[in-house]
Amino acid sequence: MTEVKFYESIEDELLKFAVIISKAQDQYVFCRHKDRDTWEIPGGHRESGENIIDTAKRELYEETGAIKFEIKPVCVYSVTAPDNFDGEETFGMLFFADIESFETELHSEIEEIELLDELPKRWTYPDIQPHLINEAKRRGFLSLSLS
C-alpha cells in the first residue's frame, strides 16, 4: 500500500522530487505524458547539484511551457510504496505556482496540458497526487473548489 506523509522541513539532500500544483487563468494545470493517457501534476526528479526550487522551476517549464509565474513552497512530502525505491520512504518538495504565461509549444515528453476546474478522472499517480492536492488545500494554497 502506498503511504503519503507531510512534513514542514527535512534535510535538503533528502529531497529527490519537486511537484508543482499550478494555476493559470483561475484553473488548475495538469499535464499528459506522450506515452500515457492519464493526467498528472507537473513535477519530476531533482538533478545532481540542483537546488530544489530550481528543480521546480525547470520541471514547471518543461512540463507546461510556463515562462512567467510565481512559485512558493507548500511543504515536504514523502511517499513509501512497496513497488517504488525498494519500499524506502522518498522525499519531495511540494510547490504552488500561479502561471501568468506559457510558451506556444511544449518541448519535452509532455504531449499536452489542460486547464481544469475539477480534478481529472484518470490520474497517472492516483495513490499520490490527490493527497498532495488535499494537503495544499488544507494549508490554504488552493482557493478553487476541486472535487
Reference 108, options 66, 68, 65; nearest CA is: 65
Instruction: State the Cα–Cα distance between residues 41 and 39, nearest whole angstrom.
Output: 7
Q: What is the pLDDT of residues 25-63, one digit of tens each?
A: 999 999 999 999 999 999 999 999 999 999 999 999 999
DSSP state for residue 31 in the 8-state scheme:
E
Distance of CA 31 to the CA centre of its chain: 10
At residue 18 the predicted structure's pLDDT band, cuts being 50, 70 and 90, is: very high
Distance of CA 114 to the CA centre of its chain: 14
Instruction: State the Cα–Cα distance between residues 113 and 30, nearest whole angstrom.
Output: 6
pTM for the full predicted model: 0.93
Q: Cell 481529472: give the residue.
A: 120
Instruction: State the Cα–Cα distance between residues 147 and 141, nearest whole angstrom.
Output: 15
The residue with greater pLDDT, 131 or 109, is 131
The predicted pLDDT at position 5 comes to: 97
- What average pLDDT is seen over the chain? 93
The residue with greater pLDDT, 108 or 52, is 52
Distance of CA 94 to the CA centre of its chain: 7
* Residue 146 confidence (pLDDT) above 70: no
Reference 17, options 125, 147, 138, 145; nearest CA is: 125
At residue 106 the predicted structure's pLDDT band, cuts being 50, 70 and 90, is: confident
Please count the CA atoms within 13 angstroms of the CA of 76 that sit on its side-chain side: 15
At residue 82 the predicted structure's pLDDT band, cuts being 50, 70 and 90, is: confident
Q: Where in the chain are the domains? A: 3-138
Q: What is the pLDDT of residues 83-105, one digit of tens each?
A: 877 889 999 999 999 999 999 88
Q: Give the CATH fold of the 3-138 domain.
A: Nucleoside Triphosphate Pyrophosphohydrolase (3.90.79)
Length of the chain: 147
